[in-house]
Amino acid sequence: MSEPAATGNGRREVTVSDVAVAAGVSKATAARALGDYGAVSDAVRDRVLGAADRLGYRPNALARTMSTGRSNTLGIVVGDIENPFFAQATRGAADVAAAAGFDLILSNSDEDLETEAKAIGVQLAKRVDGLLVASASSVETENLRSVVDAGRPLVLFDRTAQGVEVDSVIAANRSGARELTSLLVDAGHRRVAFISTMTHPTDFDRSAVVATSSVAERIEGFLDALTAGGIEHPERHVHLNARREGVERMATRLLTGPEAVTAIVASDSLIALGVFRAARELGLQIPRDLSLVAFDDADWTGVATPGITVMAQPIHEIGAEAAELLIRRVRGDGRPPVTRVLKQHLVERQSVAPPASPG
């Protein structure tokens, strides 16, 4: 340990001790003045603060965490910060955290369990006071259990997890999907596809367990609507693994041939964008040749021609609410876990019409 507290350029950090010496008081007194706790006389406080200022003292949050056991930091693990959904949810959480005096550490899981495990490991190692996670899997929950086992408060958002008894904040995906899909069915569509990028080992069948609960619920709502519309084998209309095949490629496949679909429900706005592009590429007009609806009121859905009808989620609020619940837990709230379900709302635009050739 030749230069323990040395920075890259070889300069040593200014510590409480340095300030104490400069102010002619004990370390403890200096620390009290600097950390704004305990009792310090005004005169001494001024002297200490002055010295700190002069020396350019910067508190070491790590050392503080070491002795107090609290980091005043929350962690958040999202699929991909570039996804506008996660960006907005993160912003909602960050604002609440900041208002409560907490910092936020962000990690991407890439919707991959191993990457998620690493991300969580890092956060735990950094001793965050609590963790917000949109888990890569609602079924394989060891990653989440490890957080609970480590004794750290955990709040799930966007997705719940089976058998993990913690607070969760999600949207009413099933009813939202039902409403969205009904628009299509009621317009007369029979060949309707649901597209998700969710990774899944096989083709979808009714007994399948879709790893992400939010997607699973949307599928349920979708099936509800098809069933209500008297459409047989509704499960055959669900198409997963769009990431593997490529959204545009899958959309192109579904939109061509004798069995081409006349309507599509996109599981999120990124998928809808791929479908939109594929349709344009094929020379198909929305809504004449294809009716398209999606989740999330992304920027482009309002300015595209035609505007896309979407089910909007209160994304900021999801993040904010999750952060609020987490902070409450960090502060010692011991009530039984709650699951908050936030409403979605329909934004009708011009992307839905009856099918050209009914059937």
13 is an interface residue for DNA by CB under 7 A: yes
28, interface contact from DNA, a copy of itself, none, CB < 5-8 Å by kind: DNA
Q: What are phi and psi of 32, to 5 degrees?
A: -65, -45
Q: Is position 15 an interface residue for DNA (rule: CB under 7 A)?
A: yes
Instruction: Provide the CB-side half-sphere exposure for 5 (13 A, CA).
Output: 11
| DSSP codes joined into one string, 35-89 | HT-S---HHHHHHHHHHHHHHT----HHHHHHHHS---EEEEEES-TTSHHHHHH
Candidate residues 24, 38, 56, 358; the one interacting with a copy of itself per rule CB under 8 A: 56
Selected binder of DNA within 8, 9, 10, 67 (CB under 7 A): 67
The token pair that represents 75 in the structure block: 């962690």
Partner whose footprint covers residue 126, from DNA, a copy of itself, none (CB < 5 to 8 Å by kind) = a copy of itself
Cβ-count burial of 231 within 10 angstroms (0-12 exposed, 13-18 middle, 19+ buried)?
A: middle
The amino acid sitting at 264 is I
Tokens standing for residue 124:
């735990």
**35 near DNA, judged by CB under 7 A:** yes
Which residues within the stretch 74-103 sit at the binding site for DNA (CB under 7 A)? Answer: none
Identify what 27 binds: DNA, a copy of itself, none; CB under 5 to 8 Å per kind.
DNA
Interface pick for a copy of itself out of 17, 41, 68, 227 (rule CB under 8 A): 68
Spell out, one character per residue from 98 to 127, where the chain touches a copy of itself: x when CB under 8 A holds, - when not.
Answer: -----xxxxxx------------xx-xxxx
Which residue is listed with tokens 């990457």? 115
25 binds, among DNA, a copy of itself, none (CB under 5 to 8 A by kind): DNA
Among 10, 11, 22, 38, binds DNA (CB under 7 A): 38
User: CA quadruple 101, 66, 134, 278: dihedral positive or negative?
Assistant: positive
Side-by-side strand order, sheet with 345-347: 238-239, 192-195, 263-266, 291-295, 309-312, 345-347
Rule CB under 8 A: which of 225-244 touch a copy of itself? none
Position 62 contacts a copy of itself (CB under 8 A): yes
Distance CA 128, CA 121 (A): 11
Residue 258 contacts a copy of itself per CB under 8 A: no
CA-to-CA separations, 297 to 109, 247, 251, in angstroms, rounded: 24, 19, 20
Crossing angle of helices 173-186 and 213-228, rounded to 10° = 30
Shortest spacing between CB 357 and a copy of itself, in angstroms = 25
205 binds a copy of itself (CB under 8 A): no
Could you say which of 46, 54, 56, 63 contacts DNA (CB under 7 A)? Answer: 63
Give the torsion sign (CA, 161, 222, 295, 314). Answer: negative
In sequence order, the 6+-apart residues with CB closer than 8 A to the CB of 86 are 78, 79, 80, 134
Contact set with DNA (CB under 7 A): 1-2, 4-5, 12-13, 15-17, 25-29, 31-32, 34-35, 37-41, 43-45, 57, 59-60, 63-64, 66-68
Chain residues that interact with a copy of itself, rule: CB under 8 A: 1, 3-11, 56, 58-63, 65-69, 71, 73, 80-82, 84, 87-88, 90-91, 94, 103-108, 121-122, 124-127, 129-130, 149-153, 273, 276-277, 280, 298-300, 302-305, 329-330, 332
